[in-house]
Amino acid sequence: MKTKIAVAKGDGIGPEIMAAVLRIFEAADVQLDYEYVEMGKSYFDAGHSTGMTAQAKETIERLGLLFKGPMETPKGKGVKSINVTARKVWNTYANQRDFRSLNGVNTVFSKAGIPINLTIVRENIEDTYGGIEHLLTNDVAVGRRIITRPGSAQVIRYAFEMARRKGYTKLACGHKANIMKLTDGLFLETFQEIAKEYPDIESSDIIVDDLCMKLVSRPEQFQAIVLTNLQGDIVSDLCAGLVGGLGFAPSANIGDNISIFEAVHGTAPDIAGRGIANPTALLLSGILMLRYLGFTTAAANIENSLLYTLEQGIHTGDFGDKEIPSVNTDTFADAVIANLGQIPAKGAVVGQPDMEVKANHDHPLKNKLTVTSTTTKEEMVGVDVFVQSNAQPDELAALAQRKLTDNFQLVMISNRGTQVWPTGSIFTELVNEYRIRFEKIEGSEITQKEILHIAADLSEDFKVCSVEFLMKFDGKIGYTLAQGQ
């Protein structure tokens, strides 16, 4: 009995490369059946604000797996990326992207004899990709960066399990916890805790800018790296450049209930319809999907054929030996089909899984809520009130102090994260949005109502842009100091 999956052809070159890949699957006798779903630019244009039809959503949720081509999100229409929406709505929390040197794909590193074989695991749901942004004043935009302990634990545990399945001995955590001490700090802390469960894997952490430098100078020292969403997005594209570009970068988005396999390169509208696109990235993503579904023998057969084809110098116009004429999309697929059963001279694979085999797809009855601890002691210790003002810091402090109650003291005012009161520098340039920090006086008890009352009082003199409570968790402060505080 064939396994049924949802397929979205994509935009631009998507239909061409998807047709080529599915033709290779058919020739390799892969036991799949397809339900095609309607997603992408044309469905935005038809008035579907999410970029997909209700029927497409129902089909994907019923089947639990989507194989998709590249999709375009219309620019300037205020709609969200269909690619990000799909990953987030279905909680595909781990984005696995494998990068390795391919014979026939020349790079700086292949010419130097330095083989690359590493995997990036990117958190796929949280971070700035929540897309929660506000203009607080005409001059000041703010975006929320959301990092959660449960979300971090999901992707980090997946990364360790993936490393173990692949036989890796090392896993690094890329981060910027030296600057983003609470958000990246939480991600790093979670990594360090989970690492204790995997003593067979050497764990380490590295600041992301140092990581980027080392990846372009000594990439061979890494096996697997797990990162937060935005940093993982940037680093994974950097790694694609190490092995020849996005045309050779497969992508798997793994969730507990629904998973998505896709090519992450663009839709290439300039060559769409010309039949010259490179289907390799989508084919490699499809090979990951086959392993996920348990078709490990078929996956190895197709991958060996692809590697053999590349070794023979067969290439589309975007890569390869320019002395050898390039072929079109269909001819490239024909060559892969003709080479089924061939074994490459280097890098041959066997039918062993390097991805977790898909469990039975369950349809939950309600949204899952994950909380890591219910015993943490929480204490409210103050408030940051963000206000719009053209006043100088001393003037602002004088007005803010008039709003104090017996339980609070004014401790700090900052502008763009830098303290400007009670101490600061005349050389600190200001914008028209300040953070005013009030903390409770030692020994006093405060309530949410009192905190909100301070903000309400300030609203008599200023536009209050935002309010953030200052909390302690088990005695540890849950907020950062200002620069210079």
Q: Which two tokens stand for residue 259?
A: 């998973």
Same domain, 368 and 384: no
Out of 372, 406, 428, pick the residue that ends a domain.
Answer: 372
Q: Is residue 88 part of a domain?
A: yes
Q: Domain of 228?
A: 117-242
Q: Buried (b) or exposed (e) across 411-450, using 16+ Cβ within 10 A?
A: ebbbbeebbbbeebeeeeebebbbbbbbbbeeeeebeeeb
pTM, two decimals, is: 0.92
Same domain, 31 and 71: yes
Same domain, 139 and 226: yes
pLDDT of 130 reads: 85
Q: Is residue 221 part of a domain?
A: yes
Same domain, 325 and 343: yes
Pair 353, 291: CB distance under 8 Å: yes
Q: Is residue 415 part of a domain?
A: yes
Q: Is residue 252 part of a domain?
A: no
Q: Is residue 385 part of a domain?
A: yes
Same domain, 385 and 461: yes
Give me the CATH number covering residue 125: 3.40.718.10
Rounded to whole angstroms, the Cα distance separating 139 from 132 reads: 17
Same domain, 218 and 295: no
Q: Is residue 75 part of a domain?
A: yes
Count: domains in the chain: 3
Same domain, 277 and 292: yes
The amino acid at residue 170 is K
| Cα atoms in the 13 Å half-sphere on the side-chain side of 29 | 4
Same domain, 238 and 123: yes
Cis peptide before 353 (omega within 30 of 0): no
Same domain, 238 and 267: no
Q: Is residue 257 part of a domain?
A: no
pLDDT of 407 reads: 92
Pair 96, 254: CB distance under 8 Å: yes
Same domain, 217 and 307: no
pLDDT tens-place values along the chain, 485 residues long:
899 999 999 999 999 999 999 999 999 999 999 999 999 888 888 877 888 889 999 999 999 999 999 998 777 656 778 888 899 999 999 999 999 999 889 999 999 999 999 999 999 999 998 888 999 999 999 999 999 999 999 999 999 999 999 999 999 999 999 999 999 999 999 999 999 999 999 999 999 999 999 999 999 999 999 999 999 999 999 999 999 999 999 999 999 999 999 998 999 999 999 999 999 999 999 999 999 999 999 999 999 999 999 999 999 999 998 899 999 999 999 999 999 999 999 889 887 777 766 756 677 889 888 888 778 899 999 999 999 999 999 999 999 999 888 899 999 999 999 999 999 999 999 999 999 999 999 989 899 999 999 999 999 999 999 999 999 999 999 999 998 88
Same domain, 5 and 84: yes
Q: Is residue 396 part of a domain?
A: yes
Same domain, 363 and 385: no
The amino acid at residue 221 is Q
pLDDT of 114 reads: 92
Out of 340, 372, 404, pick the residue that ends a domain.
Answer: 372
Out of 211, 242, 273, pick the residue that ends a domain.
Answer: 242
